[in-house]
Amino acid sequence: MNKIKGLAILFFCVLPIFLSACSYKKFEDSLKSKLNKEQEEYINPATIPKNSSEAEEQSLFIVGDTIVFTDVENMTVEYTLNEIHVSDNIHDLGLKADDFSDTSLISNNGDIKKKMHLVTVDVTVKNVDYKSYGPEEDNPVMSIEPSVGFKEGIEDPNGPWVIHASYFSGHAPMDQNHGDDYYYFPLATGEEIDATVGWFVPADQLEDEPLYYIIGSAGGSEDYQYFELKFDQRELP
């Protein structure tokens, strides 16, 4: 009798632990299912504005305009688009192959290979109140905006799909941090620099549709702002 009573007591002691473990497993499975569902349902929110208007915060910008971009940490930089160029030879723009992060598409004579064009933008970048922390606090290190794209790729539900810059005039030394610091440059608060950024872009696609220079590419695509890089057919090589 005592043995049966002891087994009953043990059963009722173990039962809550068993039920608790089952409840936690059920909760864990439910959480995983929810997370997987959210990941499966992700849709890229990037949308390129249809019009250029200084009166609208979310609008397209063009040559001569300035984009004032404030990030999630409430730090602001300004990008002014001064000029845009397109070429099929880097020497036409006075550039040297040694300054490119990727030279695989550049022939010995400077020609661009594989039916690609080199698109460059001349921009003025102003550090309004961007700050770094630690040893670089007095001379913040920033990254140049490196991305362009076409409408279809930027707005793709699984995107955005963009093209990364192969040229930056103010790049860090090529051997610094194994080349990983290529896009970085120091710029004190309140100061500005003029820079050139360049991309290898499919020639046929550039002939059919405008290209967009993305400002704020390090953040969420819903907050992107855009310079429209539109070339007249007569300007194309």
User: How far is Cα 146 from Cα 64, in angstroms, rounded to an integer?
Assistant: 19
Q: What is the pLDDT of residue 85?
A: 96
Q: What is the pLDDT of residue 132?
A: 77
Q: What is the pLDDT of residue 145?
A: 98
Closest CA to 145 of 229, 86, 208, 47: 229
Q: What is the pLDDT of residue 21?
A: 46
Q: What is the pLDDT of residue 139?
A: 82
- In degrees, rounded to 5, the angle at the alpha carbon of residue 160 between the alpha carbons of residues 200 and 50 is 90
Q: What is the pLDDT of residues 46-58, one digit of tens each?
A: 999 986 655 555 6
Listed as ranges, residues in the chain with pLDDT below 50 are: 1-22, 24, 27, 35, 38
Q: What is the pLDDT of residues 58-72, one digit of tens each?
A: 689 999 999 999 998
DSSP 65: -
Q: Which amino acid is at 206?
A: L
Per DSSP, what are the bridge partners of residue 164? Answer: 147
Q: What is the pLDDT of residue 29?
A: 61
Q: What is the pLDDT of residues 132-148, one digit of tens each?
A: 766 666 789 999 999 99
Question: Are the beta carbons of 215 and 79 closer than 8 angstroms?
Answer: yes
